[in-house]
Structure 1
Amino acid sequence: MFHRSAGTRMPVVDAAWHEWLRTNAARGCTIDSMIEAMTQAGFAADVAGEAVRAAFGPSTASETSAPTAAASAAGGTEAALPQKTPHTYRYDDAPVAHGNTIHAHDRDVQVLARCERPQVIVFANVLSAQECSEMIERSRHRLKRSTTVNPATGQEDVIRNRTSEGIWYQRGEDPLIERLEQRIASLMNWPVENGEGLQVLHYGPTGEYRPHYDYFPPDQPGSAVHTARGGQRVATLVIYLNDVPEGGETIFPEAGLSVAANRGGAVYFRYMNGQRQLDPLTLHGGAPVLAGEKWIMTKWVRERAYV
């Protein structure tokens, strides 16, 4: 399940990418991690290398890396969090149960892989094929262009880095949603009331979400609008509602990992520990869809009850 994503689509280093490069260079991302993120997004290695080194300036021409810190943010926010280097984050025990099979409320879920740094777990059989199809069909005609959080104001903005459409469901709004939320809460071992509503997202051909964070950067004014309701985000579960023939992986460029999109499977990642530290290794993105389409369902969970 873990592999490096690859593709043939050759994007252009446009204004949005130049802004991404300037921002992440200023925030101390490594050259290697930025090149990796761009190659995961479909750039040729030489094009990515030239663009990244140009963003760092002439002094980096012979260097291969720079001091590591946090990069661009989103998943709810598009602002970045200046952070300590990854090794300062203390990895404590994740709340997810041990074992190769986890009984999650009404369903046995298989564990396919675990990664310790960052804390990533890959699951199979989280949803049945019928449940996946039902979530797609009930969402298809209610989609709206996805947004991210403006770091200064906390408002929702449409940006070029996130090319998806989505719909939010109210927590417990009908029996199916309620059952899935109970299952997910059991699997993540986190209270139902601490979860945001389920979000279903659709990515068409070439659709992607460039590398970002899911937590809200504490140093950005706009984050306060969101952390006022339930506190900081703690972990994410991304459930794949269909098989993607090519591309569409969930990528973790700082960790060199990617997870293929297989129907009914899911990837869990945790980015806040018991000391309220935030893990910069959870930088992640949705690689471009190179064939077919991609449907996912996301659950974000908070420190406290989300009201």
Structure 2
Amino acid sequence: MPVLDAAWQEWLSTNAARGCAMGSMIDAMVQAGFAVDAAQQAVHNAFGSSVAKVAKVANVADTAAAPTSAASAAEAALPQTAPQAYRYDDAPVARGNTIHAYDREVQVLMRCERPQVIVFANVLSPEECGEMIERSRHRLKRSTTVNPATGQEDVIRNRTSEGIWYQRGEDAFIERIDRRIASLMNWPVENGEGLQILHYGPTGEYQPHFDYFPPDQPGSAVHAARGGQRVATLVIYLNDVPDGGETIFPEAGLSVAAQQGGAVYFRYMNGQRQLDPLTLHGGAPVLAGDKWIMTKWMRERAYG
């Protein structure tokens, strides 16, 4: 049975503050392996004394029924609170059409306010792009995604790519790139995850998804316990893709073509720790050639 550790406590307090339904939280904990009564007590404690009447309703549910019966009773008794609309505050990225990013001048091609998306050119030189590809070519493994229930890394059909992770600052070349990216994103370098290189062959794609860890999924607590929530992403294109392979934002009607050395930045957590659903994004199928990208994810706190 799972332990109600600091990661789970953070998950509980975050979802209670967001006004998530008690029933869905209880269900999530039960699916993760908690006993029903333990899950109910933990969720009730997270919401505080104002939900005492919900506990009474849950206690009269048929104990021989499936675990979701008590959860559904609790959810029905709790007045539902609509989640607050995402509030757009100022993104940390510097203003202007050209940004000095550590050791390089980077051009801004486009800014979008809702969602907060910025398209850059000249983030990496052609020589740097080529070096990253050659460093990675023979070390690729099938890409994984985070299992929403357990937090483990799973291989799924929706993500048809190969990848490799680099430790942050593992050598002088990687350290320089890490510092340039941190400067461009205007976020502490120590808050960044290691660089990930991904390769997509013909027809390769990554169907729409979120980069942040959904707070209502218990597996997210495993990852958020180390460095907190993800706050923003930078995807850098290491080669030109003749056709397809765009980074798409279907809820916003945006599409960014893969051009060597260019990048797309998007931010999905504001200063109030709200998460922006408009940052749903994916990698469109590669229709000609192949696609190499490098991804940097930034966290709330130091990641290490």
TM-score (norm 2): 0.73
Counterpart residue number, 1:211: 208
Identity in percent: 88
Q: Does 1:164 align with 2:149?
A: no
Q: Partners in 2 of 1:255 and 1:218 — Cα distance?
A: 22
- More relative contact order, 1 or 2 (CA 8 Å, 6+ apart): 1
Q: Which amino acid aligns with 2:129?
A: C
Q: Does 1:234 align with 2:231?
A: yes
Q: Does 1:104 align with 2:105?
A: no
SS at match of 2:181: helix
CA RMSD of aligned residues (A): 1.4
Q: Whose radius of gyration is greater, 1 or 2? A: 2
Counterpart residue number, 2:44: none
C-alpha deviation, 1:84, in angstroms: 6.3
Counterpart residue number, 1:43: none
C-alpha deviation, 1:132, in angstroms: 0.1
Q: Partners in 2 of 1:128 and 1:109 — Cα distance?
A: 10
* 2:170 paired residue among 163, 170, 173: 173
Residues 1:84 and 1:177: Cα distance change in structure 2 (over 3 Å): farther
Counterpart residue number, 1:137: 134
- Select the structure that is richer in helix: 2
Structure 1: runs of 5 or more not aligned: 1-82
Counterpart residue number, 1:189: 186
1:261-280 maps to which residues of 2 (within 5 A)? Answer: 261-280=258-277
Counterpart residue number, 1:123: 120
SS at match of 1:140: helix
SS at match of 2:255: strand
1:279-298 maps to which residues of 2 (within 5 A)? Answer: 279-298=276-295
Residue-by-residue CA offset, 1:10-40 (whole Å, 9 max, x unaligned) = xxxxxxxxxxxxxxxxxxxxxxxxxxxxxxx
Q: Partners in 2 of 1:196 and 1:84 — Cα distance?
A: 33
C-alpha deviation, 1:219, in angstroms: 1.1
Q: Does 1:198 align with 2:195?
A: yes
Counterpart residue number, 2:39: none
Q: Which amino acid aligns with 1:298?
A: T
Q: Partners in 1 of 2:178 and 2:192 — Cα distance?
A: 8
SS at match of 2:236: strand
SS at match of 1:225: helix
Q: Partners in 1 of 2:203 and 2:242 — Cα distance?
A: 13
* 2:86 paired residue among 86, 89, 99: 89
Q: Partners in 2 of 1:277 and 1:139 — Cα distance?
A: 35
Runs of 4+ in 1 over 4 A off after TM superposition: none
Q: Partners in 2 of 1:84 and 1:250 — Cα distance?
A: 31
SS at match of 1:177: helix
Counterpart residue number, 1:222: 219
Q: Partners in 2 of 1:127 and 1:119 — Cα distance?
A: 22
Q: Partners in 2 of 1:275 and 1:227 — Cα distance?
A: 16
Q: Which amino acid aligns with 2:86?
A: Y
Structure 2: runs of 5 or more not aligned: 1-80
Q: Which amino acid aligns with 1:204?
A: G
* 1:151 paired residue among 148, 152, 158: 148
Q: Partners in 2 of 1:224 and 1:271 — Cα distance?
A: 18
TM-score (norm 1): 0.72
Q: Does 1:304 align with 2:301?
A: yes
Q: Which amino acid aligns with 1:253?
A: P
Q: Partners in 1 of 2:247 and 2:174 — Cα distance?
A: 24
Q: Partners in 1 of 2:149 and 2:206 — Cα distance?
A: 21
Q: Partners in 2 of 1:205 and 1:193 — Cα distance?
A: 35
SS at match of 1:88: coil
SS at match of 2:106: strand
Report the number of matched residues: 225
